[in-house]
Amino acid sequence: MHDDPVVRIVAKVLIPSIMLFAFYVQFHGDFGPGGGFQAGVIFASAFILHAIIFGLNRTRHVWAFRPNLAVLCVGVLLYGGTGILGMLGGGNFLNYNVLGDTPQAGQHLGILLVELGVGMSVAASMVMLFFAFAGRATHNRFLSSKERNDE
């Protein structure tokens, strides 16, 4: 697929559209169906499509390991931090009512932060899992050719 110009052009149009739809699902999730998990998987699918079309190495340059790990950690910290903020405000863990001036404002802010943290964590985890499994075949081929040369 690396050489097919039609597939490459279609992918260049689809990938930003997929990311935009992921943001829609992310920020519309507190008003309707959807949210962080779904948005994270959709967002990760854009990088997986990029890797399938343009190659794993090129995608690793676009979304390297360290930024991916940072997004994963920030997502988990955002989720946990929102829960801790609720406790510091006098409520229970993940009690959003105390995060705003009114309980409704606190609920809206809390679910937005939690879903954003979930979305970031899921997207980074899915990309990390894809890189781990997709890179394994190359690694195994390299090892098997090296073992053949040693014999």
Task: Measure CA 10 to chain center.
Answer: 22
Query: Model confidence over 26-83: pLDDT tens digits?
Result: 988 666 656 889 999 999 999 999 999 998 888 988 888 899 999 999 999 999 999 8
User: What is the model's pLDDT at position 119?
Assistant: 94
CB atoms within 10 A of CB 65: 11
Residue 24 to residue 33: CA distance in whole angstroms: 11
Q: How confident is the model at residue 110 (pLDDT cuts 50, 70, 90)?
A: confident
Assign residue 34 a region (left: φ > 0; alpha: ψ between -120 and 50; beta: otherwise): left
Distance (Å, rounded) from C-alpha 135 to C-alpha 151? 25
Contact between 8 and 54 (Cβ < 8 Å): yes
- Is 68 in a helix, a strand, or coil? helix
Predicted confidence (pLDDT) at residue 96 exceeds the cutoff of 70: yes
Taking only the tens place, the pLDDT of each residue in 115-151 is 999 999 999 999 999 998 887 765 555 555 554 454 4
**Could you tell me which of 48, 43, 54 has the C-alpha nearest to residue 21?**
43
Q: Which of 70, 68, 88, 76 is nearest to 131 (CA)?
A: 68
Quick one: pLDDT at residue 150?
46
